[in-house]
Structure 1
Amino acid sequence: MTTTRRAALKLLGATSVAATAGLAVQTTGSQPAAAQTGAPSGRVPKGLRPGGELDQLIADMAARDVFSGNVLITHRGQTVLARSYGMADKARSVPNGPDTLFGLASVAKLFTAVSVAQLAQRAKLQYYDTLGMHVDGFPAEIADRVTIHHLLTHTSGLGDFFGDPGYWDVARTWTSVQQVTDGVGQFVRKETLAFPPGAGSQYSNSAYHLLGEIVARVSGQEYHDYVREHIFRTARMRSADFYTLPQLREDRRIAHGYYRPEGSRDRIDNIDEQIFAPGAFATCAQMEQFAHALWEEKLLNPAYTRLTLSPKLPGLPPPGPVPLTVFTGYGPGATLAGDRWSYGHNGGASNGAAAELVFYPDSGYVTVIMSNYEIESIRGIPGLARKLIVEQG
């Protein structure tokens, strides 16, 4: 997603998933629209349904202006709960709605990971390939030791180009996608390793930028064009795309980010702080489609779907109402809660973006949460949704 200096330290990612009819209520602000027809399975817990515990939490957060955005929960392709609150563009009085495009932040790393898996499936690359086999400009201690596996699992030792000295001053001068790609690449090539590859774990936006470079080099297509053709088109994510700053200013479908400056009671639009860099934007429904396309093996064959989703590296579980065992996969995180596996990714920024996609292939649930407020704006929603899904038995 397009980002700013203020978001650099808290940014969870910027590398460069429509539900069918079900029992749902779509709201804008606090006024519900007409309910859709066709009830989902009776096994859906009441707490997930309209008027349930989760719905009440979201409504309360929106009423207190803590949350602004969309929430979509589906079960086996049927909508269980769909909610929209707040404004996509306050200056133009455009409300958030089901067709609003939200910045995906680090959730977009899923597109990079699936692109790599598609190329591996076609034998265009291998996960043990070293960085130097596909891109140049690195010293031997990086080029010959860092592998695609390391890049995907955040074990390369590389860091975060957003925090590199001088990055923001230079980034403000970029006016084309190629300038952004080349410019970010130059900063990443100046980084040193925080630890030997495979000897530690450090979340790395720089690593995923390099995976995008590898996708472009191996496929022969510009990275964003590859994702448009092989992921967005296949998953039928029609308006999902990589939008640049001029488009963010003009396109009424795109939610502006809002945040409170330190010491202020009011949120401001972050549009004047943005840089040109293209960011991934999609609707909740499109991300739900992406989730189904991934686990239903429409994007990858069965073997590479399992390879992408399977646990690779254990991690520390986040606090929440359900005890979790978490792992890094090849892009998606894999989480075990009780006897339920789920997969997904989250992301956001301190200046007005939060997103989370989680899907449960065994039970058929998908939860998509998107906000155009600070990343803290969704706190409590994902944990309660997971608790209700897992505890239904």
Structure 2
Amino acid sequence: MQTRLLEKIKNVQNENEFSGSVLVANEMEQIIELSFGYANRSEQLKNHYATRFGIASGCKIFTAVGICQLVEKGKLSFSTRLDECLDVNFPHFDQRITIHHLLTHTAGIPDYFDEEEMEDFEELWIENPMYKIRSLRDFLPLFQNKPMKLKVGERFHYNNAGYILLGLIIEQISGQTFSDYIQTNIFSQVEMMESGYFEFDALPYNTSFGYIDFPDGTWKTNIYSLPAKGGSDGGAYVTVNDMGKFWHALVNGHIIRKEMLEQMLTPHAQVDEEEEDHYGYGVWVEKKGKEVHKYHVMGYDPGVSFHSAFYPRDGTTVVVCSNKSEGAYGVMKGIEQIISEEWNK
């Protein structure tokens, strides 16, 4: 399997000039770890196993775990209403919105970046300078006074603003900043020593720049395309090995108890009636028939593409981090093809 994976990943990389790092592991036993391209093109610094990558929305799973930890401690419940646990005024929001609705993208609230209506994330920062977005409360003016988009619980509607609210709830209940809470209660607990929420103008060593490529062969970094510091909806940096540690700790009950894990991984919301994708708490759940095929997370931003999954059938973990706007999906698809062929032997 290892040889076939190596060949497949390298073929995909040659086809799309993938830039980033890839990890395939089974129960913390590394099967494949590869890196391609440059973390810093100007200085010709290569990506490697310890390179930190932005993972965009892939970090919603950290926010969900943080909420689950607070529920375990009795600080709130999944049925707690938004207006009961967050001291922020939302004049047009339905008072029936709960933690469960926010976690499952079924709250119906407006989004600050609505993927059903907007295509270019960079458009946000024309009127709202990205360098001013450094805390979760800085996101509030982007959606706080807008009307509801849907009725509460009406349907799944992927929503970044909902996860900003969950981060604010973590801050209010814990008394810590969101990034400090995640650092203390998840990253440090799991020994994800290289991971964190960093500001664009204060990035630590071994952190990749995100690159946006144009058809004529030119490129730019994404430093003016994203908030100066990402939030609870998408702002973490990880290494592939750290992300592998996270999956291992999560599914083995090391950061939340098994009973809570079952609640988190339950397919609470069906994404599309014709598809097999569902959503749990901060994680996508793909089913094939009645069986869960994989639990996965993904993230896309200008200069960022990320896919990671855990396959319960045999305990395989896959992490694909890229510092280009595209590429992670193709590598992930190639890896899954080999995994599927191995299963069907």
TM-score higher than 0.5: yes
Secondary structure of residue in 2 paired with 1:61:
helix
Alpha-carbon deviation of 1:194? 1.1
Which residue pairs with 2:129 in the alignment? 171
Q: TM-score, normalised by structure 2?
A: 0.89
Distance 2:23 2:206 in 1: 17
Alpha-carbon deviation of 1:232? 0.3
**Residue deviations 1:273-307 (CA, integer Å, cap 9, x gap):** 45422431010000000001100000111110111
2:253 corresponds to 1:297: yes
Percent identity between the aligned chains? 27
**Residue deviations 1:130-172 (CA, integer Å, cap 9, x gap):** 1101123334662512111110111111233146996543333
Distance 2:136 2:292 in 1: 39
Distance 1:171 1:305 in 2: 38
Secondary structure of residue in 2 paired with 1:233:
helix
Distance 2:110 2:92 in 1: 16
Aligned residues of 2:294 and 2:311 also touching (Cα < 8 A): yes
Which residue pairs with 1:267 in the alignment? 219
Distance 1:103 1:371 in 2: 8
| Letter paired with 2:252 | E
Distance 1:379 1:309 in 2: 22
Which residue pairs with 2:18 in the alignment? 67
| Letter paired with 2:330 | G
Distance 1:119 1:390 in 2: 37
Alignment of 1:290-369 (within 5 A): 290-316=246-272, 325-337=276-288, 339-349=291-301, 351-369=302-320
Which residue pairs with 1:287 in the alignment? 243
Alpha-carbon deviation of 1:265? 2.2
Aligned residues of 2:86 and 2:168 also touching (Cα < 8 A): yes
The count of corresponding residues between Structure 1 and Structure 2 is 331
Alpha-carbon deviation of 1:187? 2.1
Which residue pairs with 1:12 in the alignment? none
Q: What is the CA RMSD across the aligned residues, in angstroms?
A: 2.3
Structure 2 CA distance for partners of 1:253 and 1:312, relative to 1, 3 Å: same
Which residue pairs with 1:107 in the alignment? 58
**Residue deviations 1:205-252 (CA, integer Å, cap 9, x gap):** 00000000011111121111110000001111001010101123xx34
Aligned residues of 2:9 and 2:334 also touching (Cα < 8 A): no
2:320 corresponds to 1:378: no
Alpha-carbon deviation of 1:181? 2.0
Secondary structure of residue in 2 paired with 1:316:
coil
Alignment of 1:190-209 (within 5 A): 190-209=145-164
Matching residue within 257, 268, 280 for 2:210: 257
Distance 2:324 2:253 in 1: 33
| Letter paired with 1:298 | H
| Letter paired with 2:138 | G
Aligned residues of 2:305 and 2:324 also touching (Cα < 8 A): yes
Aligned residues of 2:130 and 2:225 also touching (Cα < 8 A): no
Alignment of 1:135-154 (within 5 A): 135-139=86-90, 142=93, 144-154=95-105
Aligned residues of 1:75 and 1:364 also touching (Cα < 8 A): yes
Alignment of 1:206-221 (within 5 A): 206-221=161-176
Which 5+ residue runs of structure 2 have no aligned equivalent?
none
Distance 2:126 2:136 in 1: 14
Distance 2:222 2:281 in 1: 32
Secondary structure of residue in 2 paired with 1:382:
helix
Which residue pairs with 2:187 in the alignment? 232
Structure 2 CA distance for partners of 1:84 and 1:374, relative to 1, 3 Å: same
Aligned residues of 1:308 and 1:329 also touching (Cα < 8 A): yes
